[in-house]
Amino acid sequence: MSAEIFNTDYKLALNAALSIEVFHNFSLVHDDIMDDAPLRRGNQTVHEKWDVNTGILSGDAMLIMAYQLFENYEPEVFRDLAKLFSKTALEVCEGQQYDVDFENRDDVTIPEYLKMIEFKTAVLVGAAMQMGAIVARASEVEQQGIYSFGRNLGIAFQLQDDYLDAFGDPKTFGKQVGGDIIENKKTFLYLKALEFSEAEQQQELQDLFSISPTDSNDKVQSVKNLFLSSGAADATTKEIENYTKQAFSVLETLDISTDKKNLLKAFGENLMTRKV
């Protein structure tokens, strides 16, 4: 879509798009080892189906193959794609390290959390969109613009993910509603609730978040009530709107037709009103 926005046949962008997809799956294979996750998309994870060594090694191979997908582009496009890819891939690794570190930390701040989801998720959305612009030989300013659109939308998307995990409709939300709460994950909702609460509610929330994931029958509703009463739920909705608006405001600066701006807006709005 990004290539088309800059007047280039989307087919030219397919190898770059595929590279993003292979990279994303590489990161899932290695993350699943780190998180000791048995399932992914309803199937056994790679290290579970074979073994950890196979998971490490096939992940490594996928990372290399993601670079190989740039090889059919001409040299300058190849270099621009690979440079952006490397920068982004390192940030995703850094985001994953933050995520691992945060599990054992009780003093994670909101800016740190936002940095983590920016690196772990949002930069890849930004990079994917910029790659379309690179393939289309768009100017540096246009490239930065579409990157910024994707990055802001990516942060909004991830905050939305946190929100839906607690307040999504079980009928339409793909994952278990309350999963993050059961796993004691320090999401934006949790950090905001702590920030907004008095000492008593803070203690209550922290106590609820010390309950083991295997023993959490009544926990989800209590935590959700605290998320609502503290104002954290509203604050999260607002933050999602802020990042979405920031994404849209970047669009205004781009020298593309109104039709194309509306296309990108529709994409963003669709992403932000999703229930799944």
Q: Using CA atoms, how far apart are residues 81 and 267, in angstroms rounded to an integer?
A: 23
List the structure tokens of 18.
């595929």
CB of 92 to a second copy, least distance (A): 9
Cβ closest to a second copy, residue 89 vs residue 193:
89
Closest CA to 236 of 185, 181, 178, 163: 163
Closest CA to 130 of 269, 257, 3: 3
Cβ closest to a second copy, residue 4 vs residue 35:
35
CB of 106 to a second copy, least distance (A): 20
Angle at 181 between CA 99 and CA 190, to 5 degrees: 70
Cβ closest to a second copy, residue 18 vs residue 90:
90
CB of 261 to a second copy, least distance (A): 32
Instruction: Write the DSSP string, 208-225.
Output: HTTS-TTS-TTHHHHHHH
CB of 35 to a second copy, least distance (A): 9
Angle at 48 between CA 42 and CA 49, to 5 degrees: 80
CB of 55 to a second copy, least distance (A): 9
Q: In the complex, which residues of this chain contact a second copy (CB under 8 A)?
A: 30, 33-34, 52-54, 56-57, 59-61, 63-65, 67-68, 70-71, 75-76, 78-79, 82-83, 86-87, 89-90, 93-94, 96-97, 100
Strand, helix or coil at 238?
helix
Q: Using CA atoms, how far apart are residues 3 and 65, in angstroms rounded to an integer?
A: 22
Strand, helix or coil at 274?
coil
Cβ closest to a second copy, residue 9 vs residue 36:
36
CB of 241 to a second copy, least distance (A): 33
Cβ closest to a second copy, residue 71 vs residue 200:
71
Cβ closest to a second copy, residue 83 vs residue 245:
83
User: Where do we find the tokens 């209590």?
Assistant: 222
